[in-house]
Structure 1
Amino acid sequence: MSASDAHVALLPSAGMGHLTPFLRLAALLAHNNVRVTLITTHPTVSLAESQLLSRFRSSLPQVNLLDFHLLPLDPATVNSSDPFWLRFEAIRRSSHLLSPLILSLQPPLSAFVLDMTLISPVIPVTRALSLPSFIFFTSSVRMLSFFSYLPTSSFAGDDDDLLCIPGIPPIPRSSIPPLLLVPDSLFAKIFFQDSAHLSKLDGVLINSFKGLEPETIEAINGVENLRKLLPPFFDIGPFTPCEFEKVDTGNSVDSPLKWLDEQPEDSVVYVSFGSRTALKRDQIREIGEGLVRSGCRFLWVVKDKPVDREEEEEVEELVGHGLIAKLKKKGLVAKTWVDQREILSHRSVGGFVSHCGWNSVIEAAWYGVRILAWPQHGDQRINAEVVERSGLGLWEKKWGWGQEVKGEEIGDRIRDMMNDESLKKSAAQLRDAAREAVGDGGTSKVAFQRLMGEWQKKMSATAV
């Protein structure tokens, strides 16, 4: 029995931060002769998700795409206004509708891989069907250890207090996502409900590698208090960016890639806060002032709405006409979705001002681009701890959740990042470690082969 006998279904959740790694996982499985069914919900929350799925469909026609029609959700019944979290909840409330979809698939499924936000409602479905279930945890291993351990702790206290998890460096209370400390928030509800069901899973897949998170991966594999909270653990990253992610910019003179081609090597700072982070107008303008003060060349992606379909104003209106004139002397300001893979891999890009969404951290590590960490919400301060400890970047911890940072500070920290030769060297070493991990005999390659072996064993047991 080989990997080609396996049929695996993947169920991502909303947002590019969840969809992109799921599609990369689907491509990795398909290229290893696994039959893949991708279960998707329509319409997507963002236009970027819709366009990515379209390119994925064209690039990998062998992957079966199965539509999952959700029940309507009354937002008044949920303590959240975030459109992405509302979609998470809609999928959770519709999870009982998965059974007929799963039973309709031929050949029958060997395993079901679900998003980390869907554990507690989907596990009863897969258990009733005797279907092995795995989660794909779309964040860092450090965040996974926190996710698994917090419900068993009695942690509460001041910002200086620490959550001590066996085997790994403590996590300060100031790094905990603020919504997790609001008991009736949708974020807290999902987090605590799902973490309590981790032990019922057959495995956890994660897009990370030992070179980036050595202490935490060793702790999860070796510390009994953590190991007993988790099912088998497969650190199969970094997932390499795929061709279907490429955005066609045509021959536009405003193409970021054309502009990057004209810049000196290792001279450009890329500034992006991801697909969901909308900054306030005043903070956007402080960033602009900081970029001017830094004296560095830059490519800056500006965003002021959480959902791209709602973006209406031109970049000049957001940044200010006077500031735009100053910015154009040294950089390029964009307000459209860009192919981050192509930007970070470009020879002229030497630094990345990032919110530390996990996909961005992994991509920076893969290409050896140093980071100035500026977390905005969710898991991002915990991810920033990984960035700092690994030597991938700098983190100004006093820039707190939602706190406005002045342009002078921003400019100083950007110069610090770009002038730090030791940081440049350690980022390059992480790039080499990332490639070694997925090469023959590498830790991630071995973990992936172990995962294939687990699926084959479960298929053999089911067949008997």
Structure 2
Amino acid sequence: MPTNTKQQTVVLYPFPGVGHVVPMAQLAKVFLRHGYDVTIVLIQPPPGLADFGASVIDRIAASNPAISFHVFPPISGTDLAGSGKNPLLLLLQLMRRYNDALETFLRSMPPCCLHSLVTTMFTAHAVDVGTKLPVPVYTFFAPAAATLAVVAQLPALLAGRTTPLRELETPLEFLGVPPLPASLLMPEVLEHPDEELCHTIVNVWKRVMEADGVPVNTFESLEARPVQALMDPRRCVPGRALPPVYCVGPLVCESADLLADQERHQCLAWLDLQPECSVVFLCFGSRGSLSAEPLREIAVGLEKSGQRFLWVLPTVAGTDDDSKNLDAVLPDGFLERTKDRGLVVKSWAPQVDVLRHQATGAFVTHCGWNSTLETITAGVPTLCWPLYAEQMLNKVLATVDMGIGD
């Protein structure tokens, strides 16, 4: 590490989603502790795409004044409303178009002050910018090491395939990962390899392994098998040299990172009144939403069980005004009948503080990797309800490899 780090800046370039920005902010604090300046570069999503948790990201920026934030304005002509294409595909294509803006921003910094560029799994194409400057580029991998092992090996599996992975009847064998049915992979990579979305995702993932190094949000004692597999590139991806992999986790968000005004959330005061380990905590992530039918089923189950519960329920799939439609989605009188033993939160809640509260006894989760690390560090058992992305794989890790959930 250079001795004069105070004048050097690490630029972090995350994908504009809460699940990417939150752990990236934690990584930024690691660099700060080592004496570097840190700038997080974000894009402003164009019309036609969701804001990807802008309110949470604003809270992160407000509560971390030591981190500089730079937001690229929208690229002209990028109104994507009504395009009919998958939002993830549109955003991946858009992020690549920001390479020029990123290069201009990095060149505006004195070369002696720019230490490195850190991308993520969906912004890894920015390695091209680092090559042109040149500046070292690292790809921070916010999901599990097991997911990275799959990402590293998937392109070779798809090369030359003429049929979708979803048609495979035998489990997939990835080094370092339990045998997996193809259905547990991201739905987008199960399509025909020539489909635009599948092709785009795989091409971005190829770039992950072209970085100078890959820091991963995990720790080796948690994921020994995939970490060891990634440390042996000759076996993991035969014929290809992989960059070094560094375990830098668990990077777990603290409530203070999201509460700029430092006010204690009202749900914590409610938990203070509950007996120890008596509350089931239900939360499906920043982008997780269920349709009306499963929400009603959950509500019926909670009511019949007689169990104390804290339910974070800010979104209802298929509704335009989530908070106003919530009462209509839940069974008639549910909130009134359960008010003495249950609390429904219709907005963001401090998940880390809830999990660490002595009243919390179990966690019903979507199995996002951030949530998985948070429940592991809090020592709370989980009930797994994966919804999207790599959450199916995380469920396997939690229930089979780690033994922390069902």
TM-score category, normalised to shorter length: 0.7 to 0.9
Cα distance, 1:77–1:335 mapped onto 2, change above 3 Å: closer
- Partner SS state of residue 110, structure 1: strand
Q: TM-score, normalised by structure 2?
A: 0.87
Return the alpha-carbon distance in structure 1 between the equivalents of residues 383 and 314 of structure 2.
18
CA deviations 1:401-422 (Å, max 9, x no partner) are: xxxxxxxxxxxxxxxxxxxxxx
1:65 corresponds in structure 2 to: 69
2:257 corresponds in structure 1 to: 244
Q: Aligned residues, how many?
A: 391
1:192 corresponds in structure 2 to: 202
Pair 1:174-2:183 in alignment: yes
1:327 corresponds in structure 2 to: 338
Structure 1, unpaired ranges of 5+: 396-464
Deviation at 1:43, TM superposition (A): 5.8
Cα distance, 1:390–1:265 mapped onto 2, change above 3 Å: farther
Deviation at 1:85, TM superposition (A): 5.7
Return the alpha-carbon distance in structure 2 between the equivalents of residues 360 and 31 of structure 1.
24
Pair 1:115-2:125 in alignment: no
1:451 corresponds in structure 2 to: none
- Given that residues 209 and 236 in structure 1 are in contact (C-alpha distance below 8 angstroms), is that contact kept between their aligned partners in structure 2? yes
Deviation at 1:88, TM superposition (A): 4.0
CA deviations 1:191-243 (Å, max 9, x no partner) are: 21112223421011111112221211122123622264531101100013232
Q: Percent identity?
A: 28
1:357 corresponds in structure 2 to: 368
**Within-5 A mapping of 1:127-146:** 127-146=131-150
Cα distance, 1:105–1:49 mapped onto 2, change above 3 Å: farther
AA aligned to 1:194 is V
Extract structure 1 runs of 4+ deviating beyond 6 A.
44-48, 306-309
1:32 corresponds in structure 2 to: 34
- Given that residues 22 and 253 in structure 2 are in contact (C-alpha distance below 8 angstroms), is that contact kept between their aligned partners in structure 1? no
2:228 corresponds in structure 1 to: 218
Q: TM-score, normalised by structure 1?
A: 0.77
- Partner SS state of residue 337, structure 1: coil
- Given that residues 163 and 173 in structure 1 are in contact (C-alpha distance below 8 angstroms), is that contact kept between their aligned partners in structure 2? yes
Residue among 144, 147, 150 paired with 2:151: 147
Residue among 238, 242, 245 paired with 1:230: 242
- Given that residues 281 and 364 in structure 2 are in contact (C-alpha distance below 8 angstroms), is that contact kept between their aligned partners in structure 1? yes
Deviation at 1:105, TM superposition (A): 1.7
- Given that residues 80 and 186 in structure 1 are in contact (C-alpha distance below 8 angstroms), is that contact kept between their aligned partners in structure 2? no
1:126 corresponds in structure 2 to: 130
**Within-5 A mapping of 1:3-402:** 3-4=5-6, 6-42=8-44, 49-71=53-75, 72-75=77-80, 80-82=85-87, 86-106=90-110, 107-120=112-125, 122-154=126-158, 156=165, 158=167, 160-183=169-192, 187-222=197-232, 224-226=234-236, 228=240, 230-242=242-254, 243-246=256-259, 255-305=266-316, 311-395=322-406
Deviation at 1:48, TM superposition (A): 7.9
- Given that residues 137 and 212 in structure 2 are in contact (C-alpha distance below 8 angstroms), is that contact kept between their aligned partners in structure 1? yes
Structure 2, unpaired ranges of 5+: none
Q: Relative contact order: is structure 1 or structure 2 higher (C-alpha 8 Å, sep ≥ 6)?
A: 1
Return the alpha-carbon distance in structure 2 between the equivalents of residues 357 and 329 of structure 1.
30
Deviation at 1:366, TM superposition (A): 1.2
CA deviations 1:229-284 (Å, max 9, x no partner) are: 531101100013232223769588xx211110001111111101111112110111
